[in-house]
Amino acid sequence: MITMTFETLELPLARPFVISRSARTAVTVVRVHLTDGEYRGSGECTPTPHYQESAESVTEQLVLIQPQIEQGLSREALQQVLPQGSARNALDCALWKLDAARQGKTVWQLLGVTPPATVVTAETLSLDTLENMVAAATQAVAGGAKLLKIKLNREQIIEKVAAIRNAAPHATLVVDANESWAGLDLESLFHALHDFTVAMIEQPLPAGNDHDLVRCLHPIPVCADESCHQRSDIAKLRDRYEMINIKLDKCGGLTEALAMSTEAKALGLRVMVGCMLGSSIAMEAALPVAVQAERVDLDGPIWLAQDAEPALRYHQGEIWL
């Protein structure tokens, strides 16, 4: 018999986090805890209003499925009972941890994977004035950051990237438009960004309205984020994207994320693993799929005023395992 509990927490940020469509000074997460009396497993999710989620909607889903979880619902069955999204993510990750604990193993060992010593992660530059973004880039690379993710909207795109490249001449740069570039001359923009050795452009157009990418020549790989939530989305994206961004909160947990990684590679798409804002509980859960990815963006905890314990160690642009 399993006992399931859950809690909603508001985690203050150390500094505002701004993207093209929103700004945050705190993040709301829901944590799920499972125990059989001897062993425990926990998972964390970040409900996303952009995907019609809230802490209340996630909690409602958890209440409904609680009897089945406590009666021993398996991870495999969970995939069919709950839709993809934050609630399933927290439960799926908690079940992985509980199953591993019961077997005296880590999740890595359950998967038959030897973790590397470190994983390079992006450090995100929140949308801000050009001067503040350059200052943030300068600080990040001084601290050892190797990969910078630049949040942009429609304003000063080239100017900001040029200034950040000047401040971070050796860093890998990726750009995230968060769906904000509809109506722009994308082909000219992509070629201009190529001059600054931008390695990837993430979700330039709104999900569901990204068909213009089919006809747009782009010398930089384009990555689907908001356009790609789960395995069934991948095949139809091959004519417009070179890469997909897998996030556990979008796809509904580690189980689906691993399957997405396999599917994407089989279809010739490259893989990035990303995150919503959240604590080390959420980032640690994504690491087994992150080690299979070309790009990793799991910097959520470095934005928090206080991380969960035990906290992952972030140092010089890497997560130390």
Which positions are catalytic? 151, 247
Residue 225 annotated as part of some ligand binding site: yes
Tokens of 163: 């200034």
Rounded-to-integer distance, Cα 233 and Cα 296, Å: 20
The residues near 257 (Cβ < 8 Å, ≥ 6 apart) are 246, 247, 248, 251, 273, 286, 289
Read off φ and ψ for residue 128, nearest 5 degrees.
-160, -170
User: How far out from the chain centre does Cα 112 lie?
Assistant: 23
In the block, tokens 């470095």 appear at 302
Residue 176 annotated as part of some ligand binding site: yes
In the block, tokens 């993809």 appear at 84
Q: Yes or no: say if 256 and 231 are a contact pair by the CB < 8 Å rule.
A: yes
Rounded-to-integer distance, Cα 25 and Cα 37, Å: 37
> Ramachandran region of residue 238, left (φ > 0), alpha (ψ -120 to 50) or beta?
alpha
Q: Residue ranges for the binding site for Mg(2+)?
A: 176, 202, 225
Known binding site: residues?
176, 202, 225
